[in-house]
C-alpha cells in the first residue's frame, strides 16, 4: 500500500449524482481493500459543518459573494488542517464530496468572482495540496436541478437561477479540459446503471497505477 494516501474528490452540478455514485467508488475501494475515509465540503468536521449550515441555510439578509467565498475557505482550512492532511499522512485514502474545484465553479464561474482571488486563497489554505484524482459528473444543469427538486426542498445555493448552474457546469468543463490527467469526466445523463458501469470501467483504468504501487 502507498505510504501517502490518495486524495480523490467528486464534483458536479446539483443533482448530478455525486452521492449516488460515491457509493460506487466506495464499493470499488472496499473490493480492493483500500483504507479510506469519506468526507465532504463544505464540512467534514464539527466546526466546518457549522460553517456549511451557515452557507446553505436561507437568510433574511442576502449573503455577499465574497463572504460566501471566505466562508468556503474557512471551512476548508479547518477540514484540511484537522482531518484531511492527517489522514493522508497516515496512508489513508481520502474520498471527498466536493473540494476547491467547486469554488472555481460556483464562486468563480457561477458568482463571477475574480479567479485570481480564488488562486490566492487556494495557495494560502492548501499550500501545495491538490487532489490526485477528481471525478466530475457532467450533466445539463436543468436536469440536475430537476432531480434535486424531486428529492426535496432546495437550500440557499440550490435556489439560484438556472443560468447560475449553467455557468457552474461550464466552469467544471473548463477545469476538466485544462486538467485532463487529473479529471475524469462521467456523462451523468445516462441511466443509473450505465453511469455505474462507466464509472467502474474508468476507475479501473485510472487507478491501476496507484493500486499496483
Q: Which residues bind ligand T5A (CB under 6 A)?
A: 12, 14-20, 41-42, 72, 97-98, 102-103, 106-107, 147-148, 151, 157-158, 188, 191-192, 195
Residue 133, sorted as left (phi over 0), alpha (psi -120 to 50) or beta, turns out to be beta
Q: Which residues pair with 136 in a beta bridge?
A: 11, 185
Would you say 147 or 210 has its CB closer to ligand T5A?
147
Q: Which residues pair with 185 in a beta bridge?
A: 136
State in angstroms the smallest separation of the CB of 212 from ligand T5A: 30
Would you say 5 or 17 has its CB closer to ligand T5A?
17
Cβ atoms of 10 and 98 within 8 Å: the answer is: yes
Cβ atoms of 13 and 103 within 8 Å: the answer is: no
State in angstroms the smallest separation of the CB of 213 from ligand T5A: 29
State in angstroms the smallest separation of the CB of 186 from ligand T5A: 10
State in angstroms the smallest separation of the CB of 106 from ligand T5A: 3
> Around Cβ 10, how many Cβ atoms within 10 Å?
28
Amino acid at each position: 500500500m502507498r505510504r501517502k494516501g490518495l486524495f480523490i474528490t467528486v464534483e458536479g452540478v446539483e443533482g448530478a449524482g455525486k452521492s449516488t455514485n460515491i457509493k460506487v467508488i466506495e464499493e470499488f475501494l472496499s473490493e480492493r481493500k483500500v483504507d479510506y475515509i469519506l468526507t465532504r465540503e463544505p464540512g467534514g468536521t464539527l466546526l466546518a459543518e457549522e460553517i456549511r449550515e451557515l452557507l446553505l441555510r436561507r437568510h433574511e439578509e442576502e449573503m455577499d459573494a465574497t463572504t460566501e467565498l471566505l466562508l468556503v475557505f474557512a471551512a476548508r482550512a479547518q477540514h484540511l488542517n484537522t482531518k484531511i492532511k492527517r489522514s493522508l499522512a497516515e496512508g489513508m485514502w481520502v474520498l471527498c464530496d466536493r473540494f476547491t474545484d467547486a469554488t472555481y465553479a460556483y464562486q468563480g464561474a457561477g458568482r463571477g468572482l475574480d479567479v485570481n482571488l480564488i488562486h490566492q486563497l487556494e495557495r494560502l489554505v492548501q499550500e501545495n495540496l491538490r487532489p490526485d484524482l477528481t471525478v466530475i459528473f457532467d450533466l445539463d444543469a436543468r436536469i440536475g436541478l430537476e432531480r434535486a427538486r424531486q428529492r426535496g426542498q432546495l437550500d440557499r445555493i440550490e435556489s439560484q437561477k438556472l443560468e447560475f448552474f449553467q455557468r457552474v457546469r461550464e466552469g467544471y468543463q473548463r477545469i476538466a479540459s485544462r486538467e485532463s490527467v487529473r479529471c475524469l469526466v462521467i456523462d451523468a445523463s445516462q441511466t443509473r446503471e450505465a453511469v455505474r458501469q462507466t464509472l467502474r470501467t474508468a476507475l479501473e483504468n485510472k487507478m491501476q497505477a496507484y493500486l499496483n504501487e
